[in-house]
Every structure is written in C-alpha cells, then in structure tokens.
C-alpha cells in the first residue's frame, strides 16, 4: 500500500461543513503516536489485510441519517480520524490526527432498477470491493451504502477498514458502541458470556503448569517449523501464492443459535467448539465432492491447518466511545496460533465437535498466542518489519485457511439510526484462498466464507455443506 511521505499532506485535506476538527491538530508533535508492531505488520506484502463487515438492515436506508451518526459516533475514535504516515528515517509509521470530511468516506452505490437478482447485485458489489485499496491520503476506512432490497433486507451497508486500525473484536466493539438496543434506546448492547476472557487456562497445580509449558513448547516448535518449511497438504481448497491479490467472493449463511446451544449443552463444550467442529465437518463434506469429481476418495492423511487469532484482552465488554482509546479495548491485541483442522471422515458427526473441543482445550492451555505476539515485537526490534512480514507470510501460506469467531450482540440493535437484520464480518488480502468467519447476532449465527474463486469456484456449495453439517450435528446431539 502506498504511504504518505510527509505530514505536510495533512494540511491539504479538504473540509466542509460536515468536517470534524480536532484540537490535536494544534499540537501535532505531542499527539503523534507510532503504530504498534502488529498494526505495522498489516502493511507488509502478504499481510496487507482489510476487514469488511456486511450489515443487513430491516428498514429503508437514509444516507443523511447514517452520515450524521457516523460523525457523532465513529469519528470520536482517533483511529478513524488519523492518517497513517510513514517515517522514512526508521521505516516506522505514526498516527497523525487530521480533519475528516465524512463525504470522502461514505460511498452510495448506484442502484440498478433493472437488475435481475438484487441478492446477486449486492454480492457482486461486496466482491468488487476486494479489488481495491483505500487511499492513504485519508484515514483508512469507508462505509458503503447499497440501497437495494434483497430477500433478507431492505438495504445493505458495508463497513470496511484496514486491519492496522484494529482487530476483529475491537472493531466489533466500536460498532456496538455506536449501537443501542431496540428494546432500550439508551442502553448499549451486551455480548454473550460473562465478558471475561482469559486465554490460558488457569491452574495452580504443578501438573497444570508443566502441561502449559509442554503445550507451549510443542506449539512454538510447530510454529517455527511452519515458518521454515512445514506445509499443509495440497488440496482443492489450498490456494497458490497469488491468492492474496485475487478478488474475493463473500458468501454467508445463517443458522439458528438455538441449534448451536443445543449441541453445546449436550456435549458440555463451548460455543466456539461447536462452530469449529461444524466448520471441520463442512470442509470434509465439501472436499468429498471435489475429490469424487476426480473419482478418488478424500485422503485420510491430509494435513490441514488454520491460522486462528486469539484475543489477548481480559474482557470483551463494550466500552463507551470516549474510553476506547485509553482502557485497553482498542487496537490489535491479538496473537495467533496454527490450529490443526481434522477433516477426516467421522462415523458420528459429534466427533467433529469432540475433536474440536480437545484441540481448543489444549490450545487454551498454551502460551503460543502470547509468544507469537511478543515474537512480532522482538523480531521487528532486532531485524526490522520486513523480516517479520516475510516470516508471517510464510506461516500463513504454509497453512490452508484462516478462521475467526467474533461474538456479537445478544439482542436486536439500532446501528447508525437503522434496525439491523444481521452482521457478517470477514476480510481480504490474506494469503489463504479460504477464510471462514463466524459471528452471532440475536437468535442467529452467521457463517461467512471469503474465497479465491479460482481455487473455490462454488462458495455457495461450501455454505450449503456448512449448514448441512450443523443439521447433522444437531440431529446426533438430539439422540443423546
């Protein structure tokens, strides 16, 4: 991505009556803050990633109302009102507060009254966004309004931002900080669970401590081997090195959250275990068809792994917008792991969930995400960001897919003045040809796949397989 060569560019940004000004402009030197190592990593080739969140609305879209809400909510966060400026002397980047013209960030799609399939029109519009990058002469985010009625919505919006602004959980946090409950217009939404996160399983016994040390050692060894040479098996869902530059097709499918909870309670596992198990089952179902087309069976010895990000915060609670820069909620506070995906044939569909539970239980008793987070900082300090970028690219390329699960609000919400039907986050720019993201909203769970169509030409079939896997797993759970 092109970067700004001089902070003088800040003075040339256009403003009008909708512009938001900041006192920080008068004391620029005091307010310049460097990007964190993880945020800086997201500007490197192979890691230059954008997050997109598709928002379906139940009510007719009013662009002027949306713009007003964006000015009074999103722009209160400094990340959305700052440029990312490169320092040529040390190849670092800094946040530079600037004036923001909301019209430069809100894009209203031209409606096509003669379109045969509104759903396909919206899908194509979202896919075409992955062909483009946001110009670095303005804060790296935009908001697209697609005022086209589909089978599920009265209109669709796409919130897009560069991953350097924040990770998935922090971005979901700021969106929900802009939202209010439909049932109580003065109240912030609530996230599922007790809003407490702790990556490493806590235990005071010597045995537990030894287990964490051993798991961490094995995981870090596998991580380093992956960074050096250990590749996943060549399969129909594993892309080439050119996948990062390809257009992505975004397709999503919703399932009932009650079905997930039924399996969760039947097996006494976590919500994430169930969706991870369903993803493994769905991938096996999809691969079985792809291999059958070649008149061969799915091999039993496939090495398939996902890069999965772990939140390193102590809480997921939604904070007020004025607090988000200072209370540790914001930014890229993540570490990632290389997670084995067991996509072999299982006689009992519940075994996919049981295996996912065992794998995640061991991963939670490991310091791998913490070490990978510190590893980025250490290598950048010793060798520079270019080396970090190359190592990260190697790890991601040697795995098969990316996987993410972001908790969403438990109740119906109003966001930017409109009632929300669904939220579906994803990303593009990564090396993997497949990225599966999961987000909950009210009474549904949204599975969204982002695919390189040259590798996975039938993403709707993959979504069908994910949905059918949930049905099979639920049916087995009901027999317990």
Among all residues, which ones are annotated catalytic? 163
Give the span between the Cα atoms of 339 and 360, in whole angstroms: 8
Which residue in 264, 338, 337, 344 sits closest to 299, CA to CA? 344
* Burial per residue of 48-75, b for 16 or more beta-carbon CB atoms within 10 angstroms, e otherwise: bbbbbbbbbbbeebeeeebbebbeebbb
Residue that has been written with the tokens 């987000």 in this structure: 439
Task: Give yes or no for a contact between 9 and 143, defined as CB atoms under 8 angstroms apart.
Answer: no
Nearest 10 degrees: Cα torsion 340, 345, 350, 354:
-30
> What burial class does residue 478 get, using C-beta atoms within 10 Å of its C-beta: 0-12 exposed, 13-18 middle, 19+ buried?
exposed
């Amino acid at each position: 991505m092109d970067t700004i060569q001089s902070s003088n560019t800040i003075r040339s940004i256009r403003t009008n009556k909708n512009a938001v000004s900041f006192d920080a402009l008068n004391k620029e030197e005091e307010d310049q803050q460097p990007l964190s190592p993880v945020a800086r990593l997201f500007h490197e080739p192979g890691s230059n990633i954008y997050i997109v969140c598709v928002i379906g609305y139940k009510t007719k879209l009013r662009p002027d109302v949306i713009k007003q809400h964006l000015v009074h909510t999103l722009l209160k966060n400094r990340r959305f009102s700052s440029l990312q400026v490169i320092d040529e002397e040390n190849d670092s980047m800094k946040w530079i507060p600037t004036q923001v013209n909301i019209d430069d960030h809100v894009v209203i799609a031209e409606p096509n009254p003669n379109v045969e399939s509104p759903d396909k029109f919206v899908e194509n519009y979202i896919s075409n966004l992955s062909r483009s990058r946001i110009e670095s002469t303005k804060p790296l985010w935009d908001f697209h309004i697609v005022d086209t009625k589909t089978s599920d919505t009265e209109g669709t919006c796409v919130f897009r931002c560069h991953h350097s602004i924040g990770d998935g959980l922090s971005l979901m946090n700021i969106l929900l900080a802009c939202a209010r409950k439909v049932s109580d217009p003065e109240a912030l939404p609530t996230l599922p669970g007790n809003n407490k996160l702790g990556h490493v399983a806590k235990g005071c016994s010597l045995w537990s401590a030894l287990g964490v040390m051993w798991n961490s050692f094995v995981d870090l060894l596998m991580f380093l081997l992956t960074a050096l040479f250990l590749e996943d098996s060549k399969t129909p869902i594993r892309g080439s090195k050119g996948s990062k530059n390809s257009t992505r097709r975004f397709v999503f499918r919703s399932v009932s959250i009650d079905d997930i909870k039924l399996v969760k309670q039947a097996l006494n596992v976590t919500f994430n275990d169930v969706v991870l198990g369903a993803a493994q089952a769905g991938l096996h179902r999809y691969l079985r068809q792809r291999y059958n087309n070649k008149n061969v069976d799915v091999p039993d010895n496939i090495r398939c792994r996902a890069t999965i990000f772990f939140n390193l915060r102590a809480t997921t609670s939604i904070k007020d917008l004025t607090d988000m820069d200072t209370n540790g909620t914001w930014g890229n506070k993540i570490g990632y792991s290389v997670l084995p995906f067991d996509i072999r044939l299982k006689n009992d569909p519940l075994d996919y969930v049981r295996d996912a539970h065992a794998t995640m239980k061991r991963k939670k008793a490991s310091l791998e995400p913490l070490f990978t987070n510190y590893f980025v900082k250490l290598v950048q300090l010793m060798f520079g960001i270019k080396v970090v970028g190359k190592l990260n690219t190697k790890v991601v390329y040697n795995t098969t897919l990316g996987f993410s699960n972001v908790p969403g609000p438990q109740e119906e919400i109003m966001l930017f003045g409109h009632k929300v039907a669904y939220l579906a986050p994803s990303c593009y720019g990564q090396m993997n040809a497949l990225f599966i993201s999961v987000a909950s909203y009210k009474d549904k769970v949204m599975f969204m796949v982002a695919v390189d169509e040259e590798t996975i030409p039938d993403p709707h079939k993959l979504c069908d397989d994910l949905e059918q896997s949930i049905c099979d797993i639920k049916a087995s759970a009901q027999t317990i």
